[in-house]
């Protein structure tokens, strides 16, 4: 049986993977609620999509649960029934070893990647269950499965994202609501690395020189594929790496 999804909400829709997902879902005929903090960027996206795709913009900070609830309550009636929630908003900050990391960076990653994602999921899930229709798609990371140097708190937040989805799937058993996590590896052509290196463009670009990373559209295609599976098929986890990337294995130090 085909699913009957009509409206998708994408967080972090103003750039990178979120923007690419919004594009894919727009071309698949979805009505879109686009969430981000930067309104001008969302406006530009809406200009690109309309009139073919109906869009509604929500500018709010996902870390603030009251603000999230107010924003969702204020959605116009024909945007209120969210069928697909794409939990994409998130960031990595810093690559220092844990013992040298900035507390603010950890706090920002934990509050955005875990709290923000939980806030909006908590707000939208009951409606999906009530309608017995919906799909939560989390954008995780290979960093949530494979630990690497400097990945510390970022990897841990993505492990949360991954495991949270598995927990949701367990709780949603017996309903038609589906849950997926897509875990990308290196994705270029977006702000991920620039944010991680706090705006240092040289360092950010160096990560992707002499190799071919994924681009955001590769991940957006995975999202579109997951949501378009027949209603009885739930893709729980997809791990997607660039061909040039592989899990690194264990390290040993003889000086410790």
Q: Does 186 bind ligand 8X3 (CB under 6 A)?
A: yes
Token pair for 25: 């879902």
Q: How far is the CB of 34 from ligand 8X3 (least distance, A)?
A: 22
Q: CA-to-CA distance for 160 and 114, rounded, in angstroms?
A: 7
CB nearer to ligand 8X3: pick between 119 and 152: 152
Please say which residue, 11 or 53, places its beta carbon nearer to ligand 8X3: 11
The verdict on 185 binding ligand 8X3 (CB under 6 A) reads yes
Cα torsion 193, 155, 64, 7 to 10°: value is 80
**Residue 140 contacts residue 25 (beta carbons within 8 Å):** no
The residue assigned the tokens 């290979």 is 142
- Report in angstroms the alpha-carbon separations of 126 from 106, 199, 231, 241: 30, 39, 19, 33
Does residue 132 come out as left (phi exceeding 0), alpha (psi in the -120 to 50 range) or beta? left
Of 19-27, 96-104, 123-131, 179-187: span binding ligand 8X3 (CB under 6 A): 179-187
Q: Cβ closer to ligand 8X3: 114 or 142? A: 142
Residue in the shown chain whose Cβ atom is closest to ligand 8X3: 141
The stretch among 21-29, 75-83, 110-118, 140-148 that binds ligand 8X3 (CB under 6 A) is 140-148
Give the nearest distance from C-beta 40 to ligand 8X3 in angstroms: 26
The reply to whether 197 belongs to the active site is: no
93 binds ligand 8X3 (CB under 6 A): no
Catalytic site residue from 5, 30, 146, 154: 154
Whether residue 105 contacts residue 94, with contact meaning beta carbons closer than 8 Å, is answered with: yes
* 3-class secondary-structure state, position 115: helix
Q: Which stretch binds ligand 8X3 (CB under 6 A): 55-63, 76-84, 130-138, 181-189?
A: 181-189
Active site residues: 154
């Amino acid at each position: 049986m085909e699913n009957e999804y009509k409206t998708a909400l994408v967080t972090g829709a103003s750039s990178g993977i979120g923007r690419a997902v919004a594009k894919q879902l727009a071309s698949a005929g979805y009505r879109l609620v686009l969430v981000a903090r930067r309104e001008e960027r969302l406006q530009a996206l809406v200009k690109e999509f309309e009139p073919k795709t109906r869009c509604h913009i929500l500018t709010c900070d996902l870390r603030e649960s009251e603000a999230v609830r107010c924003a969702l309550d204020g959605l116009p009636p024909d945007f209120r029934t969210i069928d697909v929630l794409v939990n994409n908003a998130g960031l990595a900050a810093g690559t220092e070893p844990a013992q040298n990391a900035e507390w603010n960076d950890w706090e920002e990653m934990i509050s955005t990647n875990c709290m923000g994602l939980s806030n909006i999921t908590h707000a939208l899930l009951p409606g999906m269950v009530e309608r017995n229709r919906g799909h939560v798609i989390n954008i995780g990371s290979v960093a949530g499965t494979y630990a690497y140097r400097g990945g510390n708190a970022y990897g841990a937040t993505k492990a949360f994202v991954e495991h949270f989805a598995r927990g949701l799937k367990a709780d949603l058993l017996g309903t038609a609501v589906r849950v997926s996590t897509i875990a990308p590896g290196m994705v270029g052509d977006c702000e991920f690395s620039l944010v991680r290196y706090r705006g240092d463009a040289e360092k950010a670009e160096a990560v992707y020189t002499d190799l071919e990373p994924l681009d955001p559209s590769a991940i957006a295609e995975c999202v579109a594929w997951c949501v378009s599976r027949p209603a009885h098929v739930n893709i729980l986890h997809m791990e997607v790496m660039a061909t040039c990337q592989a899990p690194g294995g264990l390290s040993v130090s003889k000086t410790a």
